Structure 1
Amino acid sequence: MTNIEEKGKLWNKNFIITCLTYFLVACSFNLLMPTIPLFLSGELGVSPSKIGVVLSSYVAALLIIRPFSGYLVDVYARKPLLVLGISLFVLTFLGYYFAVSILFFIMLRFVHGLFWGLSTVSANTVAIDIIPASRRAEGIGYFGVNINIAMAIAPYIAVQIYDAYHFNALISSALFMGSLSIVTSLFIKVPHRKKLEKVPPISLDRFILVRAIPIFLNQLLLAFGWGTLVAYAVLYGKGIGIKNSGIFFLFLAGGIVFSRVTSGKLVDRGYLHQVMAVAILLISGGYVGFALVHDIYVYCIAAFLIGTGYGTLFPALQTIYINMAPASKRGTANSTYLTGFDLGIGTGMLMGAWLAGIFGFANMFLITGGLSFVALFIYWFNSRHVYEKGRIACP
C-alpha cells in the first residue's frame, strides 16, 4: 500500500468541485465588501461611523443564524441545505440594484448575512465530511484558502470594476459568479450519513461548542483585525497617498497562498501550537508595520505578512475546533469557529470606524496589532492547554 493510499486521497473530483463552489460564492460576496464603503461615502455622502453600521449589519445576521445553521447541518441532509443557502444568497444580490438609502442597505446586508451564514456553515461541514481524517488540517487549509483568496483578489478586481464601470456593474458581476456557484454545487457528492433515529433535543451544546469557549474568546481578538482590514484598508491606503490601494489585497492573497504550502502539513504532523504562535506573530508585526510606515513598499510587505499570518491561522484554528468535537457535532464546531470570526469581524468594523474617527486609521491599525499580540499571550498560556485537555483523540 502506498503512502498516499494510507493517508487517503485528498484531491479527488468531489473535493475539487467543493473548493470551486466555495471560491465562486466567496468571490461574489467579496466583490462588494470594499466597494460598499466607497459607494456610500462617494455617492451617498455617508460618514465613516454610519458606514461601519452598514457593514456590520450582516454580521449581526450571521451571529443569529450561525448557531442554527450548525444545528441544521448536524441533523438534516447537508447538500440540500448547501444548495438552498447559496441560491437564496445569490438572489439577494438583486436587491442592491435598488439600494439608495442607508436604511435599505442595512436591511439588505442583514438578509444577505442570514443566507451567507447558512451557505458557509454547510459548505465547511460538507468539505470536512469529504476530507480524509488523516489529512484534515491539510485539507481544511486548502479548502479554506478559497475564501481567503476570494477575500483578497475579489476586492482588488472590485475596485477596478467600480472605478471603470460603477456600482451596478459590480452587482452584475457578483450575480454571475454566484450563479456559477449554484451550478457547481449541484455536482457535489456528499458522503452518506446514517440517518438519525430521532431529532436531538435543542440545548446549548447543539448551538455552540461549549468546551471550546475559551478558544472562541481568544479568537475574537484576532478576528477584530480582519474586520478592520477588509473594511478600511482601501480607504487607509488612499488616505496615505497610495493611488492604487487595492494592490494591498493582491499581496494579502500572495501571503495566504504562500502559507498553505506547509502550514496544514505541519499541523497534521503535530506542530499545531508552534504554527499558531508563528501565525499570530506575523499578524501582529504586519499590522505594526502597516500603521507606522506610510510607504508603498512597506504597505505591500505588511500585506504579505498579514496574509501569511492569517493564512496559517485559519486552518490551524479550525482544526482545533474540529478536533474538540465528535463527528456528530461537526456542524456545531464549524458554526462556533465561523461565529468567532463573525463576531470579531463585526466588532472590528464598528469599533474600527470609531477608533479611526478619534485616533486616525494609522493608530487604529496600531491598536489592532497590539490586540493581536495580546492574543498570542492568551493562546500560549491558556488556549493551548484548553485544547490539549478537551480534544478528542480519534475525531
Structure 2
Amino acid sequence: MGVPEKTNFLFSREFITLNAITFLTYCNIAVFFQFHEYLGTLPIARDRFGILISLFALSAVIARPLVSPFLNPSNSGKWIGISSVLVIGSLWLYSFADDFFTMACVRLLHGAVHTILAVAVLSRMVGFIPRERSGQAFGLLFVVVLLPYAVVPPVLEPLTRGLGGFGHVLEFSAACMALVFPLLWLGNRKSPITTLPAAESISLRETLHNLKDFRLLMVFLIAVIVWTAFTPVFYFLKGFGEKLGIDNPGWFFTLSTLTEIFVRITAGSVFDKFDKVKLLLGSLLWTGLGYAVLSQVSGEWGLYALGLALGIGWGISMPLLSSLTFDYSQPRFRAVNSNLTMQMFQLGFFLGPALGDATLVHWGYETLYLVCSGVMIIGTVAGLMLIWHPKRFALENR
C-alpha cells in the first residue's frame, strides 16, 4: 500500500521493484549510444541524423503533458504493463526501418510509448516516497536512471559484433524488457492497486495554475539546460573519442556513472540537510567547467579523468532538480510536477541533439562542447534567481 506522509520508511517492496523497472526502461535508451553511427550505415542523408535522434524526444515532449495529469499512484500500474508491451514492439520495428520516413515513424512511436511507461512508473513511485526522504529517494532514482549509461555503452561494441549488428542488439533489448512483467507482479503481490488511495485526475487548468510558482518554473528551466548540455556528450562522444584515437570511449560513461552512484549513495541523505539550491549552483558551475575542459581534451586518460569529474557534477545536479520540484510542489501536484521535470529531460534530449548536431557539422567537437559550457553558465544564472527571489516573485502572488 502507499506510504503515508508521516512515515519515513523508503525501501518498500514497491519502491525497489519500481526502481528495477526504471532500470530496464532506461537500458533501452542507453542502448542508442551507437545510434548516430548506426544511421551512417543506412541510406539516410547525413544532415538528417540530428533530426532522427531528436524525434524520439519530440514525441515525448508532446506525449508527456497529455498523459501526466491522468496518471497517479492508484491507476498507473496497469499502464506500466500496457506501455511495456508497446515499447517491446517498437524496439523490434527498428530492424524494418531503413530510410528516413520509416525511421522517423519508429522514433516517434518509440518516444511516445517510452514516455507513457516512464510517466506511469514515476507516477506510481511518488506514492511511496515520504517527503522527509525526497532527496535520498530521487538521488537513488537518478542512480537507477543513469546506471544503464555505465553498463551499456562499453558492452555495445562486443555485443554488436556477437549478435551480428545493431538491429539485433535492439531485439535483445526488447527481450530484456519482458522482465518488467514479473517485477510488476512482485511489486503488486501484497499491495494491489486497489489498496492505494484513490486519486482524482487533475485538470489542465489546475495544472497550469500550479505552474504559476516562480520557483517551479526556474527549476524546470534549469532542468532543460542541464539535459540540453548533457545530450551532445552522450550522443556524440563516440565520434569524438574515435577522433582522438580511443577504441572504446564508452568507458567514459562507465566512469562518470560510477562516480555519480558513489556521490548519490554517500551524499543522498546530505541533500536533505543542506541548502539544496546552493548545492545545485555549485554543481552547475562544476559541470560547465568540465564541458570547457572536454573541448580541449586530447588523450584517453584525460577523457577518462574528465568522466570522473563530470560524474560529480551530474551526480549532484540531476537528483536535486527532482528533489526541489518535489519540495516546492503541493502534495496533490507532486506526481504531475515530478513528471514535468522528466518532461524537461525529454525537451533537453530534443534540443541537445538537434542543435548539437548542427553545431558539430559546422564547427566541430571543440566548439560543440564550449557551447555546452556556455549553456551551463545560463543555468547557473537561473539558479541564482532561486536564491535572490525564492518566494517573493511567485507569479500567483502578483
Superposition TM-score, scaled by structure 2 size = 0.89
Equivalent residue, structure 2, for 1:305: 309
Matches within 5 A, 1:205-354: 205=207, 209-211=211-213, 212-354=216-358
Q: Secondary structure at the match of 1:294?
A: coil
Q: Deviations over 1:50-75 (max 9, x none)?
A: 11111100111111111122111149
Q: Secondary structure at the match of 1:292?
A: coil
Equivalent residue, structure 1, for 2:3: none
> 1-side partners of 2:78 and 2:389: how far apart?
35
Aligned residue identity for 2:322 = Q
Would you say 1:171 and 2:170 are equivalent positions? yes
Q: Report the CA distance between 1:271 and its aligned residue.
A: 2.5
> 2-side partners of 1:245 and 1:236: how far apart?
8
Equivalent residue, structure 1, for 2:60: 62
Aligned residue identity for 2:289 = G
Equivalent residue, structure 2, for 1:202: 204
Contact 1:34 1:231 in 2 (8 A): yes
> 2-side partners of 1:250 and 1:215: how far apart?
28
Q: Deviations over 1:179-223 (max 9, x none)?
A: 112331232236744335x65543262697342223222322211
Q: Report the CA distance between 1:280 and its aligned residue.
A: 1.0
Equivalent residue, structure 2, for 1:383: 386
> 2-side partners of 1:352 and 1:23: how far apart?
27
Equivalent residue, structure 1, for 2:33: 34
Would you say 1:20 and 2:13 are equivalent positions? no
Would you say 1:368 and 2:372 are equivalent positions? yes
Q: Report the CA distance between 1:82 and its aligned residue.
A: 2.1
> 1-side partners of 2:366 and 2:45: how far apart?
18
> 2-side partners of 1:359 and 1:185: how far apart?
47
Q: Report the CA distance between 1:283 and its aligned residue.
A: 1.2
Contact 1:259 1:308 in 2 (8 A): yes
Equivalent residue, structure 2, for 1:180: 179
Equivalent residue, structure 1, for 2:86: 88
> 2-side partners of 1:332 and 1:292: how far apart?
40
Q: Match for 2:51 among 50, 53, 60?
A: 53
The verdict on how the C-alpha distance between 1:163 and 1:49 changes in structure 2, with shifts beyond 3 A counting, is farther
Q: Deviations over 1:303-331 (max 9, x none)?
A: 12222211211211001111222222122
> 1-side partners of 2:290 and 2:180: how far apart?
33
The verdict on how the C-alpha distance between 1:258 and 1:390 changes in structure 2, with shifts beyond 3 A counting, is farther
Aligned residue identity for 2:14 = N
Report the number of matched residues.
Answer: 382
Aligned residue identity for 1:85 = S
Equivalent residue, structure 2, for 1:123: 121
Q: Deviations over 1:275-314 (max 9, x none)?
A: 2122212211221121112111110111122222112112
> 1-side partners of 2:273 and 2:201: how far apart?
37
The verdict on how the C-alpha distance between 1:243 and 1:201 changes in structure 2, with shifts beyond 3 A counting, is closer
Q: Secondary structure at the match of 2:380?
A: helix
The verdict on how the C-alpha distance between 1:45 and 1:259 changes in structure 2, with shifts beyond 3 A counting, is farther
Q: Secondary structure at the match of 1:260?
A: helix
> 2-side partners of 1:22 and 1:223: how far apart?
18
> 1-side partners of 2:309 and 2:129: how far apart?
28
Superposition TM-score, scaled by structure 1 size = 0.89
Matches within 5 A, 1:149-160: 149-160=147-158
Aligned residue identity for 1:86 = S
Aligned residue identity for 1:209 = L
Contact 2:277 2:386 in 1 (8 A): no
> 1-side partners of 2:187 and 2:251: how far apart?
34
Q: Report the CA distance between 1:386 and its aligned residue.
A: 5.2
> 2-side partners of 1:52 and 1:182: how far apart?
33
> 2-side partners of 1:213 and 1:134: how far apart?
23
The verdict on how the C-alpha distance between 1:385 and 1:153 changes in structure 2, with shifts beyond 3 A counting, is farther
Q: Report the CA distance between 1:390 and its aligned residue.
A: 8.4
Q: Deviations over 1:62-105 (max 9, x none)?
A: 11111122111149612112222222212211211211112111
Contact 1:137 1:264 in 2 (8 A): yes
The verdict on how the C-alpha distance between 1:257 and 1:242 changes in structure 2, with shifts beyond 3 A counting, is same
Contact 1:69 1:118 in 2 (8 A): yes
Q: Deviations over 1:92-124 (max 9, x none)?
A: 112112111121111101101111111112212
Q: Deviations over 1:137-157 (max 9, x none)?
A: 101111221111113322222
The verdict on how the C-alpha distance between 1:216 and 1:107 changes in structure 2, with shifts beyond 3 A counting, is same
Equivalent residue, structure 2, for 1:3: none
The verdict on how the C-alpha distance between 1:72 and 1:300 changes in structure 2, with shifts beyond 3 A counting, is same
| Comparing 59-68 and 264-273, the one that deviates more | 264-273
Gaps of 5+ in 1: 1-5
> 2-side partners of 1:136 and 1:200: how far apart?
22
Gaps of 5+ in 2: 1-5
> 2-side partners of 1:207 and 1:244: how far apart?
48
> 2-side partners of 1:345 and 1:207: how far apart?
26
Q: Secondary structure at the match of 1:203?
A: helix
Aligned residue identity for 1:346 = F
The verdict on how the C-alpha distance between 1:81 and 1:208 changes in structure 2, with shifts beyond 3 A counting, is farther
